[in-house]
Chains A and B, each alone.
Chain A
Amino acid sequence: QVQLVQSGAEVKKPGASVRVSCKASGYSLTGYYLYWIRQAPAQGLECMGWINPNSGDTNYAQKFQGRVTMTRDTSIMTAYMELRRLTSDDTAVYYCAREWLGPDGAVWFDPWGQGTLVTVSS
């Protein structure tokens, strides 16, 4: 069964950093791009960027550049997303999602991790 399992909820103070993990099972992590997407309370979805787990190459949305780092450890089939200098606006559920490439070249996200709630509060 192909699935992504994320780490548990985190509570952080403003100015701190958080690292969320995403473990792949049922497929090889290195075979597909992995995206990080977040969802603030009662808000929509926001793409933070992606990592190519095979090469380690990354691409971050402009909004998060300088504050986010995506990495991976292929030996344990796990990807990580670290977000620094947290503020209350970073309170959200953070999802990892595998990019799936269809035969016609189209791509979509499948599956998604179960989500990790990060709460930033003093």
Chain B
Amino acid sequence: QSVLTQPPSASGTPGQRVTISCSGGSSSIASNTINWYQQLPRMAPKVLIHSNDQRPSGVPDRFSGSKSGTSASLAISGLQSEDEAIYYCAAWDDSLNVWVFGGGTKLTVL
């Protein structure tokens, strides 16, 4: 059971906008910044969004992040087939003193 809660799956058609939610608690998301990682099939995870809403260089602006209270969201606009991946949210947990992750959301492009 993951500390952060994500929907197990999401889907959309090419060009659509999809959002993935991530909920946590007062000691994790509410207290610390959140990061999002993208894991393509058979690859290691890669940072997609850091510091709640910042994109590393090279990440398309189709990807955006937001945070409010104990929840965060990842939005993907102009969905493309290469966006098929598993997306994880992550935050430091002040109570557990460890990084905690969501269970991952598998995105399917129909």
Across the interface, do B50 and A44 meet the contact criterion of CB distance under 8 Å? no
Place the interface of chain B in its size category: 20 to 34
A115 touches which of B33, B44, B101 (Cβ 8 Å): B44
Q: Which residue of A lies closest to B56 (CB)?
A: A110
Complex CA–CA separation, A115 to B45 (angstroms): 10
Interface string of A81-122 (1 = CB under 8 A from B): 000000000000001000000101011111111110000000
Interface of A, secondary structure class, is strand
Across the interface, do B45 and A45 meet the contact criterion of CB distance under 8 Å? yes
Binding site for A on B (CB under 8 A): 2, 33, 35, 37, 44-47, 50-51, 54, 56, 88, 90, 92, 96-104
Binding site for B on A (CB under 8 A): 35, 37, 43-47, 49, 59, 61-62, 95, 102, 104, 106-115
